[in-house]
Amino acid sequence: MTKTIELPIDLGATGYVRFVDKVSEGGLATTFLASVYYGGAVRRAYIKLYDHLAQPKAVLNEVLGYLYAQAMDVPTPPVFFVEIPASDVVASGFRTAQVGSIRAVGTLEAHEPKIVGEGTAKTLYLPSALAQIKSRLLASPAGRTLMSFDEALGNDDRNTGNIVFSRKHGVVAIDHGRILTGPTWSRFTLNACFDQGNK
């Protein structure tokens, strides 16, 4: 049986449609919700702006995570590149010395919520529900595959914000920025023990 692994595509400047809503600032990345033109249709997508000096391997991690997830049959949304106009870089709240547009990494929205207005989908699971979510994950083959993926790729960041539960796709993995021990990995950290211990 042949498996096809999709590579990220570059939407360039013309694939960007508009800014929709702020999502989160700080941590590793500044994330915002946007509309992009992808595969001949306008789609909702999450765009991540990384400080490349502080997080030199973050984008590489996002891409590698996407490729490995497909190889391991872990549902994950397509990763792509797109050029964000300077005005929307500012609107996202991303702090940068750079003036002008930025080429960023993005993912299509992982679930198909009924959108009644603008904005991000409701968060269904609170951090306090993590224990319940863990036992639900362990009880399902898809959840166990996701845990194997995290273990194999040294991902210590499988928090409730990085799992999307979808009726159609089951458990969907998002945010691969911290695989391989994190976005500043080196051959020394990769040689160290991978067992990061997801709690």
The smaller minimum CB distance to Mg ion, of residues 83 and 156, is found at 156
The b/e string for 151-168 (b: 16+ C-beta within 10 A; e otherwise) is eebbbbbbeeebbbeeee
Contact 72, 152 (CB under 8 A): yes
Position 35 contacts Mg ion (CB under 5 A): no
Position 62 contacts Mg ion (CB under 5 A): no
Position 162 contacts Mg ion (CB under 5 A): yes
- 44 burial level (CB within 10 Å; 0-12, 13-18, 19+): buried
Contact 8, 66 (CB under 8 A): yes
The smaller minimum CB distance to Mg ion, of residues 151 and 157, is found at 157
CA proximity to 60, closest of 148, 149, 178, 158: 178
In the block, tokens 């929709």 appear at: 20
- Cβ of residue 58: shortest distance to ligand ATP, in angstroms? 7
**Residue 110 interacts with which of Mg ion, ligand ATP, none, CB < 5 to 8 Å by class:** ligand ATP
Q: Which one of 4-12, 39-47, 76-84, 159-167 is the stretch in contact with Mg ion (CB under 5 A)? A: 159-167
Binding site for ligand ATP (CB under 6 A): 23-24, 27-29, 31, 46, 48, 77, 107, 109-110, 157, 161-162, 164, 174-175, 177
- Interacting residues toward Mg ion by CB under 5 A: 161-162, 175
